[in-house]
Amino acid sequence: MSQKSIEKIIALSSDLRWQIGDDFHDNLAEGIYADASEIAKNSVISNNKKKRFRLDTKIDKIVTSKTWGFPIMFLILGVILWITIEGANYPSSMLANLLLNNFHPILKTLAASIGMPWWLDGFLIDGVYLAVAWVIAVMLPPMAIFFPLFTLLEDFGYLPRVAFNLDYLFKKSGAHGKQALTMSMGFGCNAAGVVATRIIDSPRERLIAIITNNFSLCNGRWPTQILIATIFIGAVVPASFSGIASLSAVIGIAILGIFFTFFVSWALSKTVLKGEVSTFNLELPPYRPPRFWKTVYTSLIDRTIIVLWRAIFFAAPAGAVIWLISNIYIGDLSIASWTINSLDGFGFLLGLNGVILLAYIVAIPANEIVIPTILMLTVMATGIAGGEGVGVMFELDSASETATILKAGGWTLLTAVNLMLFSLLHNPCSTTIYTIYKETKSVKWTVVASLLPVIMGFVITFLIAQIWRIVV
Amino acid sequence: MNTYNPVNALIIFVSISVLIYLIFRPAKGWFWLIKNSFIFNEKTAIEDILKQLYHFENSGKDANISSLTGVLKFKDSLVIEVVKLMTISKLIYFEGDVLKLTKSGRDYSLRIVRVHRLWEKYLAEKTGIDKLEWHDRAEFMEHKLSLEETNSLASQLGNPVYDPHGDPIPTNSGKIAKVKGVALSSLAVNSIGKITHIEDEPDIIYKQIIAENIHIGSQIRVVENNTKRIVFYSEGEEFKLAPIVAANLTVAILDPTVLDKEITLRLSSLQENETAKIVGISKESRGESRRRLLDLGFVKGTQISIDLMSPLRNPTAYLVKGTSIALRKDQASKILIKKD
Amino acid sequence: MENKVNSVCGSCSQYNIKGLKKLGVNISNFDFVVAIAGNPNTGKSTVFNALTGLRQHTGNWPGKTVVRAEGAFEYDGQKFKLVDLPGTYSLLSTSQDEEVARNFILFGKPDVTVIVVDASRLERNLNLVLQILEITNKAVLCLNLMDEANRNNIKIEIRTLARDLGIPVVPTSARFKEGIPELIQTINDVATGKIICKSYRIKNVNGNIDKAIKKLSDEIEKEIPTISNSRWIAFRLLEGDNRIINALRTGELV
C-alpha cells in the first residue's frame, strides 16, 4: 500500500463527493431507513398499529394537558422538596448530635490520653474532622432522600414530560426544556445538577445549563438562608408574622435564583455561546414502572455517595486551612485576623464584612461550613465570650444565641440581606467547579462558570449596599 | 474609609461600567474599532476589488472606477491607488474606462469567493451562529484563510457544491456549478418554480426575507405580480413581498405539466387527528439539526401524526415510527409533508 | 471480588448456566472484547448490568451513559471484556457520543458487537443496526424489552429477522433477566467462530450515489485487500470524515 495511491483515493473521494452534490447524507439516511422498514415489514406482526400504548396515552393526556399539566408538575416537585427538607431534619440533627456533640469530645479525650500534641490534635480533630463531620451531617440526609425520589420519577419516565411542558419558557431564554430538570436537580446539589446536564444533547444548551446551575440554591445553602432569615428578617415584623416573613424571604431568594437562571441563560445564548451548535429534540419514552429498591440503590451509589465522597475530599483540607489560619500568627495577629482586617474595607463596600468574605473564601470547598466558620471567626475577631476555642467551628442550638454573636460582630439587617444574596450569588463550591471541569473538559467554561456568579454577587450586593445607605 | 460616601461610590461604579461598555460593546466598541483598523490593509482592498469585479463580470455589467468606489467601503483615494497597483501586477487591465479581470485576477477572485462561500457553509453546518451574521463573518474570514486551510475546510465539509444561500462554491481548481433561474419579481402569474438562491445583500432586504420565513429550496406558485407587490403560495402558506424584495430571490422555473398536483405543506400546519406522510426536510434545516432529524426517522415516506401538544402549544410531540418525539415549531416548519 | 460475586449469583437460578462467572469490573487478560451498542432508552445498560453483575445506573431517559463503561464476565473458561458504548440513534453524525461509538466499533475491532434494540420499535432501531452491520458482521442482535412488546401484541419472527440480517437474534427481557443465558451463549459462539455471520449491505442506495460508492470501495479494496468494510469507509470518505482520512494515511485500517 503506497502513500501515493492512498492520496489518490482521498482525491477521488473529494471529486466524487462534488459530483454527487449536497444530498449525499439525506439520501444515505433515507436509504438505510428504507431497508429498515422492509426488514421490519418481513418480521414484525403487530395487532396494534400506529397508536402508542393506551395507558401511556392516557397518562400523557393528563400530565401534558392545558389544565392539569402545570399543577401536577408543581405539586410533584413541591412534594419532593417538602419531603426532602422535612424528612432530612431529623436524621440531620441526629447525625450532627452524634458526630459533633458525642464523637468529637470522645476523639478529643482519646487524643489527650495518648498524649497527642495540641497542634496535631487541633489540626486533625478540630480542623479536618469537624469540617468533614459537618458536611456529612448537613449534606447526607437531604441528598439521600432527594436523589432516590428524583431518580424514581426519572425511571418512571415522568421527567421528559416536565421538559416537554416547560420547553417553551426555556426556549425564550435560549435554553433547552431539559434544563428544568438539571435546575431542579441543582436544588439538591449543584454538582449532581451539572452531571445531569448530560441528558441535554445540544452543545450550546448544555453549556448554558452547566453555567447557570449554580443559581439553583443547593441544599448546602438552604440552612444558611433559613438561619439568617429567621434571625434578621423575622425580627423586622411582629412576632406573629415572623415565621411567614422569614419563610417568604427564603423562598424569594430561591425564586430570584430561578430568575437569574433565565436571565443569564438568555444573556449567554446571545453572547459568548451564540457560536455553539444548537439542536433540539426530545424523545418522550414509554412509561416504565420503576423497580423501587434497585432505583434507590443505584441512585444512592451513583449520585449521593459519589457527590458526598467528593465533598468530603474537598472539605477535609478546608477544615485544616480554617484551623491553621486561626492558629498561625504573624506578629500579634493570626493569619485569619490579618485577612479579616484587610478584607473589611471591601466587605463594607458590599454591605458585608471581612469575616463573611474570609468565610466564603475558606468555605469554597463546602457551603455547609459557612455559618460555623462565620461564628468562629466572629467570636475570634470581636473577642467576645463564647465558642469552642480558636479555630474550632461551632454552631449554636438556639437562633437567639447565634443572633447575639452576629450582632456583636456588627451585623445589621443590610448585612443579613446581602449575605442571603451573596449566598445565592457566589462561585460554585469546589466540588461543583471540579465537576464542571470534568464535564466540559474546558478551562475556559470552568472559569466562566466560576467567576460569573461571584462577579454578579459583588455587583448586586454593592448596589444594594449603596442604595440602602442612601435611602435608610 | 474617610472619603467613603455611598453616592460617590455609586458614581464611580457607574462611570466604570459605562467606560467598559463603550470599549467592549459589540461592533461599535472602541476596542473592536481599533482592532479592525489594523485589518483594513492593502491585501484586503485588493481582494475586495477583485471580488467586486468578479460579481460585476458575472452579472454581465461593466465596472469602472466610480462603480467600484460606489460598492466598496474604502476611501476613494485608496481604491484608485490600489487599482493602479493591481494593473501593474497584472491582476486587472483597462479596456477604455472599463475594468477587466486578467486570467490570474479571475483565479484570485474565485479563490476569495470560494473562501467566503465555504465559510458561510461552515457557519451554517458546524456552528450555531445566526444566519444574519454569516455574511459579515465570511467577509472577514475571506482575507484570513490560506489556501491549505481552505482546502482542509472544504474536505471537512464534504466539498459542498452550494453555499447556504444557494450560491455555487468554486472548487479548488476553479470549477463552478451553474445557478439556474430568474428573479422572482420577473415571474408571470401562475408560473411554478423552486427557490434556488436567496441574496444576502443588502442587509435590510435580507432581514425582511428571513422574517417572512421564506425557505430556500421550496416550491412556489405566483398568484399576483404587479408593481406594488408579488404574492405567491409556498408549502401551504401565502407570502406577500415588495418587488424590490422579490428581486433578491432566484427561482428556477418548473414545468407545471410534469409536477404532481398534491400540495406540499409544512409539518407545523398539521392538525391533531390528521395523519400525513413526510416528503422531505427543507434545505433551511442545516447541520447537526438536520442530521438529527434524519437519524430520528424524519425521512421521506414516513407516516406522521401529532401525539401530544404541550400546555403552551409549543413544542409538539409527533408520533414517528412508533416513538413520540417533540419538536419545536420552527423545526416543524422545516419538515415538509403531504396530508393523507 | 470474583468469588463474592460468583457466590451471590450462585443462588439465582437463571444464572446457573455452566461455567458462567460475572467478573464485575475485574478486567484483566481477557480473551475477547464485546461492545454493546444500541439506541438510547432500549435498556442497553440493563443488558450490560445483567451480563457483568454490575449496577450501573440506568434511567428511562436518553443519554445516561456518556462515558464508556467497562465490565467483564467469564464463560467456559474464556474471559470477555464488555464495553458499554453511548446510546446513539445513528453513527453518521458528528456528535461526540456517535464518534465514540463509531470509532470503537471501527478501530477497537471488538470480537463481538451486541446491538441492543427495543423489540416494540424495531424499524426505528434497525437504522443503527444496519449501519453497524456495514462496519462489522461479528454481531448479535439482542431483541430487548420483549415483555413490553408482548404486552402490546407485537410479535416478531425471530428466524426471519435473523435470516434477513445475517446475524443471530436473541430475544431478551433484561429487566427480568430473561434470555441472558442464551445471549451469553450466542456471544460466545460468535466470538469463538461457532456461528459465522453473513455481511449485510444496505440495498436502497440511490443509483448515482451507489455508483460512486462502488467506485470508491473498489479502489479501497485494491489498496487494502484484507478490508471487510470498504463500503463503510467509502461512506465516511464521502462524508469527509477526517478521522477516516487520517486512518487511511497512517495505515490504521489495515
Residue boundaries of the structural domains of chain B: 30-101, 112-177, 182-258, 265-339
Judged against a pLDDT cut of 80, whether residue A48 lies above it is answered with no
Name chain B contacts of C239, Cβ cutoff 8 Å.
158
Q: pLDDT class for C17, splitting at 50, 70, 90?
A: low
Rounded to the nearest integer, the mean pLDDT of chain A is: 88
Instruction: Name the CATH superfamily housing domain B182-258.
Output: Ferrous iron transport protein A (FeoA) (2.30.30.90)
Q: What is the pLDDT, as a whole number, of residue C60? A: 46
> B131: distance to nearest CA of chain A, Å?
11
**Can you tell me the mean pLDDT for A258-279?**
92
Highest mean pLDDT among A48-52, A383-387, A457-461, C66-70: A457-461
In CATH, which of 1.10.10.10, 1.20.1560.10, 3.20.20.70, 3.30.300.20 is domain B112-177?
1.10.10.10
Q: What is the pLDDT, as a whole number, of residue C2? A: 36
Same topology, domains B30-101 and B182-258? Answer is no
> C210: distance to nearest CA of chain B, Å?
17
CATH classification code of B265-339: 2.30.30.90
Q: Do A168 and B310 touch (CB under 8 A)?
A: yes
Name chain B contacts of A167, Cβ cutoff 8 Å.
310, 314-315, 326, 328
For B289, name the nearest residue in chain C, comparing CA atoms only. Answer: C93
Judged against a pLDDT cut of 70, whether residue C16 lies above it is answered with no
Q: Do A199 and C57 touch (CB under 8 A)?
A: no
Q: What is the pLDDT, as a whole number, of residue A29? A: 92
Q: Any chain A CB within 8 A of the CB of B129? A: yes
Q: Any chain A CB within 8 A of the CB of C234? A: yes
Q: Do B321 and C89 touch (CB under 8 A)?
A: no
- C6-196 fold: Rossmann fold (3.40.50)
Look up residue C119 and give its DSSP letter. Answer: G
Judged against a pLDDT cut of 90, whether residue A175 lies above it is answered with yes
**Can you tell me the mean pLDDT for C58-67?**
48
**Can you tell me the mean pLDDT for B112-120?**
94
The grid cell for A415 is 448585612
Q: Any chain C CB within 8 A of the CB of B321? A: yes
Q: What is the pLDDT, as a whole number, of residue C142? A: 96
Q: What is the pLDDT, as a whole number, of residue C55? A: 64
Q: What is the pLDDT, as a whole number, of residue C63? A: 46
Judged against a pLDDT cut of 70, whether residue C66 lies above it is answered with no
Of B159, B288, B309, nearest to A277 by CB-CB distance is B288
Find residues 244-283 of chain A whose CB sits inside 8 Å of chain B.
273-283
Q: Do A466 and B7 touch (CB under 8 A)?
A: yes
Q: Do C239 and B158 touch (CB under 8 A)?
A: yes
Q: CA–CA separation, A174 vs A384, rounded Å? A: 51
Angle at A287 between CA A282 and CA A289, to 5 degrees: 140
- Percent over 90 (pLDDT), chain A: 36
**Can you tell me the mean pLDDT for B31-59?**
82
**Can you tell me the mean pLDDT for B165-188?**
86
Find residues 154-213 of chain B whose CB sits inside 8 Å of chain A.
154-155, 158-162, 171, 175
Q: Are A133 and A104 in contact (CB under 8 A)?
A: yes
> Which sequence spans correspond to the domains of chain C?
6-196, 207-250
Highest mean pLDDT among A299-313, C18-32, C33-47: C33-47
Q: What is the pLDDT, as a whole number, of residue A295? A: 79
Q: What is the pLDDT, as a whole number, of residue C4? A: 36
Which of B95-109, B239-253, C57-71, C178-192 has the weakest average pLDDT?
C57-71
CATH classification code of B30-101: 1.10.10.10
pTM: 0.88
**B4: closest CA among C151, A287, A273, A351?**
A351
**Can you tell me the mean pLDDT for B171-186?**
85
The grid cell for A347 is 466587605
Q: What is the pLDDT, as a whole number, of residue A1? A: 58
Name chain B contacts of A462, Cβ cutoff 8 Å.
9, 13
Rounded to the nearest integer, the mean pLDDT of chain B is: 88
Name chain A contacts of B326, Cβ cutoff 8 Å.
164, 167, 281-284
The grid cell for B278 is 413526510
Q: pLDDT class for C1, splitting at 50, 70, 90?
A: very low
**Can you tell me the mean pLDDT for C45-73?**
68
Q: Any chain C CB within 8 A of the CB of B299? A: no
Distances (CA, A) of B252 to A83, A431, A459: 64, 59, 57
Name chain C contacts of B294, Cβ cutoff 8 Å.
90
Name chain C contacts of B322, Cβ cutoff 8 Å.
120-121, 123-124
**Can you tell me the mean pLDDT for A196-222?**
91
Of B156, B288, B321, nearest to C240 by CB-CB distance is B156
Tens digit of pLDDT for each residue in C146-178?
998 888 888 999 999 999 999 999 999 988 889
Tens digit of pLDDT for each residue in B83-110?
888 999 889 998 888 888 999 999 999 9
Q: Any chain C CB within 8 A of the CB of B323? A: yes
Q: What is the pLDDT, as a whole number, of residue B156? A: 80
Q: What is the 3-state secondary structure (H, E, C) of chain B?
A: CCCCCHHHHHHHHHHHHHHHHHHHCCCCCHHHHHHHHHHCCHHHHHHHHHHHHHHHHHCCCCECHHHHHHHCCCCHHHHHHHHHHHHHCCCEEEECCEEEECHHHHHHHHHHHHHHHHHHHHHHHHCCCCHHHHHHHHHHHCCCCCHHHHHHHHHHCCCCCECCCCCECCCCCCCCCCCCCEEHHHCCCCCEEEEEEECCCCHHHHHHHHHCCCCCCCEEEEEEECCCCEEEEECCEEEEECHHHHCCEEEEEECCCCCCCCCCEEHHHCCCCCEEEEEEECCCCCHHHHHHHHHCCCCCCCEEEEEEECCCCCCEEEEECCEEEEECHHHHCCEEEEEC
Q: pLDDT class for C9, splitting at 50, 70, 90?
A: very low
- From edge to edge, which strands make up the β-sheet containing B323-327? A282-284, B323-327, B316-320, B303-309, B275-281, B335-339, B265-266
Tens digit of pLDDT for each residue in B281-300?
998 998 888 999 999 999 99
Q: What is the pLDDT, as a whole number, of residue B297? A: 92
Judged against a pLDDT cut of 60, whether residue A52 lies above it is answered with no
Tens digit of pLDDT for each residue in A279-321?
898 989 888 888 788 878 877 877 788 778 877 888 888 888 8
Q: What is the pLDDT, as a whole number, of residue C57? A: 57
Q: What is the pLDDT, as a whole number, of residue A89? A: 82
Q: pLDDT class for B191, splitting at 50, 70, 90?
A: confident
Of C55, C63, C92, nearest to A298 by CB-CB distance is C55
